Amino acid sequence: MPTYLLALETATDVCSAALTDGDRLLVEETLHRARLHAERLVLLIEDVLRHADLTPAVLAAVAVSGGPGSYTGLRIGVSTAKGLAAATGAALVAVPSLEAQAAAVAPFAGPGDLILPAFNSRRDEVYLAAFRRDDAGTLHPVGAPAALPVTAVPAWMHDLPAGPCWLAGEGAPRLAPVLARTDRPHRLVPLTAAGPAARHVARLGWARYAAGETEDLAAFEPRYLKDFVAKKPRASVFEKLSF
């Protein structure tokens, strides 16, 4: 019997939705334009469901990029996911945004390599984390997510395991010049090769769902990593969906 999961990625300028049957990707749509999440996310959801000839009622789970990242993007993605889960009875699954970005890079990295996904924060800051890829391609966290000035990143990396480092995500170009002044081998992965996408949220989200790692629908909030007072959205975007 099919087990359908809808995944949403809105932590950066990318707005993406994907539909899977278990861990099998059925359809994905991605929009690479900033500040259009509120206008386009529901349309992307409707499109992926239409292409699969399905309705929201069949969803077993909704997985969403849970932060850190853009305040507005996360708020839109999470509120949409929560609303859709509440309306359909689907489980809510949160996937750390930086882990999803790291998962996009894992196929490029070798065993023992480090992956540093980074998103833009303020002008001189990034959100970042560190993962180590094992022989099987599985990612293991070795550096907790943090919001740091770019100049503080080498010190933050001091206790990370040795090995080549892959820089990925929209904030990665900020890190490359800083790491060039250290003895850490590194490589910058272009967004065109491994950018954020809902398929990675879906794959990680499915694993969490299968393991029973779901969120409390009423209590879950994005992990912003910074103090933030959320404003009530002008409209509940999930209500635009056709049931």
Angle, to 10 degrees, between the axis of helix 97-105 and the axis of helix 198-210?
A: 110
4-97+196-240 and 105-194, same CATH topology: yes
CATH number of 4-97+196-240: 3.30.420.40
Residue type, 127: Y
Query: What local confidence, expressed as pLDDT, does residue 174 receive?
Result: 94
Q: Torsions phi, psi of 135, nearest 5?
A: -65, -30
Tell me the pLDDT tens digit for each residue of 20-50.
Answer: 999 999 999 999 887 788 889 999 999 999 9
pLDDT tens-digit profile of 121-152?
Answer: 988 899 999 999 999 999 999 999 999 999 99
Would you identify the CATH topology of the domain 105-194?
Nucleotidyltransferase; domain 5 (3.30.420)
Sequence-ordered alpha helix ranges (H) in 111-171: 153-156
- What's residue 35's pLDDT? 78
User: Taking the domains of the chain in order of start, what are their residue ranges?
Assistant: 4-97+196-240, 105-194
- Predicted model pTM: 0.91
